[in-house]
């Protein structure tokens, strides 16, 4: 009976259960970041999916964007003057799906269909059938270029909305990222804001041992961008950085925030452990991760 009851429990109740009245304050970036982690664990567990460590890494970046930065409306996802967000590191798609569901773009219950046959929530973020997602990604090195086009279109229209692109650090191995970086600078797209989830790890090993990016901030500056580095898990610091990025409009240069993060952040045995780029949390590992996340509940 107990098992049956457990299975009958809704996904939402499972995730929200520990909050007062079962209602988390999703306007608080620390709460939304926690929900992104918690749902990320649940979604990759249920689907036997990958990339949990990337989701844990990008949690605060996405949470701050949806709580404090983006001008978007869940009741009108296609609002013409909305800000555009592109998750260029599409493999962290479950972070965006969670943020969208928790802020009312679609029911939280739908998150349990991540990776499922017949659902819309593919492993890499998809716009088809998912309100609030602008662009489908997954192949790396595409998002910044699409963002350049959007920001250019906004500039031609003299519109005030901004374009945000979240990149991975490993993704910056792609030559196309740097083509787009040059193009953004050339066309003075100062309402284009890129954020790099700089967790210093990629698929097989560290960034340092793969293709070195340092001096990374200087590289962006050399490509004609304004750049700053920030602690990518400090929601207040991120918020302040986004404020500076917004104030950058008028400078004639695009803006990049290098958000220093820890891959696998929040689950001790996943942190900086390359295994968890692909490994799926199951059995005792799932239970242990759950316990650690519960201890972090804000």
Virtual CA dihedral for 136, 240, 191, 131, nearest 10 degrees? Answer: 30
CA 142-59-135 angle, 5° bins: 30
Which residues, at least 6 apart from 287, have a Cβ–Cβ distance to it below 8 Å? none
DSSP, residue by residue, 148-196: HHHHHHHHHTT----EEEEEETGGGGSHHHHHHHHHHHHTT-TTEEEEE
Which residues, at least 6 apart from 88, have a Cβ–Cβ distance to it below 8 Å? 137, 140, 141, 142, 143, 144, 147, 165, 166, 167, 168, 171
Query: Distance of CA 250 to CAs 37, 142, 155, 229, 282, Å?
Result: 36, 26, 11, 21, 49
Q: Residue 138 CB, nearest distance to other proteins (Å)?
A: 8
Q: Residue 44 CB, nearest distance to other proteins (Å)?
A: 23
State the Cα–Cα distance between residues 61 and 164, nearest whole angstrom.
Answer: 11
Among 56, 62, 154, 194, contact with other proteins (rule: CB under 8 A): 154
Coil, helix or strand at residue 71: coil
State the Cα–Cα distance between residues 184 and 25, nearest whole angstrom.
Answer: 36
289 binds other proteins (CB under 8 A): no
148 binds other proteins (CB under 8 A): yes
Which of 143, 140, 259 lies closest to 196 in space, CA to CA? Answer: 259
Using CB under 8 A as the binding rule, the residues of this chain from 162 to 201 that contact other proteins are 163, 175-176, 179-180, 182-183, 186-187
Q: Residue 250 CB, nearest distance to other proteins (Å)?
A: 20
User: Is 64 or 154 the residue whose CB approaches other proteins more closely?
Assistant: 154
User: Is 211 or 275 the residue whose CB approaches other proteins more closely?
Assistant: 211
Q: Residue 92 CB, nearest distance to other proteins (Å)?
A: 17
Using CB under 8 A as the binding rule, the residues of this chain from 118 to 147 that contact other proteins are 127, 134-139, 141-147
Tokens representing 131 are 């309100």
User: Is 140 or 267 the residue whose CB approaches other proteins more closely?
Assistant: 140
User: Is 32 or 148 the residue whose CB approaches other proteins more closely?
Assistant: 148
User: Is 22 or 149 the residue whose CB approaches other proteins more closely?
Assistant: 149
Tokens 């600078």 found at: 185
Mask for 230-249, x = binds other proteins (CB under 8 A)? --------------------
Mask for 55-94, x = binds other proteins (CB under 8 A)? -----------------------------x----------
User: Is 24 or 123 the residue whose CB approaches other proteins more closely?
Assistant: 123
Binding piece for other proteins, criterion CB under 8 A, among 51-59, 65-73, 156-164, 198-206: 156-164
User: Is 144 or 257 the residue whose CB approaches other proteins more closely?
Assistant: 144
State the Cα–Cα distance between residues 105 and 108, nearest whole angstrom.
Answer: 9
Binding site for other proteins (CB under 8 A): 84, 127, 134-139, 141-154, 156-157, 163, 175-176, 179-180, 182-183, 186-187
């Amino acid at each position: 009976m107990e098992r049956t009851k457990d299975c009958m429990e809704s996904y939402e109740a499972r995730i929200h259960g520990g909050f007062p009245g079962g209602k988390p304050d999703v306007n608080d970036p620390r709460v939304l970041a926690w929900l992104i982690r918690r749902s990320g664990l649940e979604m990759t567990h249920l689907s036997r999916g990958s990339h949990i460590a990337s989701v844990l890494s990008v949690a605060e970046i996405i949470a701050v964007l949806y709580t404090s930065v983006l001008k978007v409306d869940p009741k009108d996802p296609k609002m013409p003057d909305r800000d555009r967000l592109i998750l260029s590191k599409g493999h962290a798609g479950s972070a965006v799906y969670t943020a969208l569901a928790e802020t009312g773009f679609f029911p939280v219950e739908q998150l349990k269909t991540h990776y499922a046959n017949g659902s819309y929530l593919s492993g890499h973020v998809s716009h088809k059938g998912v309100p609030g997602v602008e662009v489908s990604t997954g192949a790396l090195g595409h998002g910044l270029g699409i963002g350049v086009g959007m920001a250019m279109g906004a500039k031609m229209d003299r519109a005030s909305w901004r374009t945000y692109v979240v990149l991975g650090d490993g993704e910056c191995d792609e030559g196309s990222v740097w083509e787009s970086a040059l193009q953004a600078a050339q066309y003075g797209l100062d309402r284009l804001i890129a954020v790099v989830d700089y967790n210093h790890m990629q698929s097989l090993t560290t960034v340092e041992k793969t293709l070195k990016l340092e001096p990374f901030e200087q590289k962006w500056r050399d490509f004609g961008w304004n750049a700053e580095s920030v602690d990518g898990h400090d929601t207040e610091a991120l918020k302040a950085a986004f404020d500076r990025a917004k104030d950058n409009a008028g400078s004639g240069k695009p803006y990049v925030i290098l958000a220093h993060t820890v891959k696998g952040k929040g689950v001790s045995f996943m942190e900086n452990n390359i295994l968890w780029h692909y490994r799926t949390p199951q059995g005792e590992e799932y239970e242990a991760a759950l316990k650690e996340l519960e201890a972090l509940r804000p």
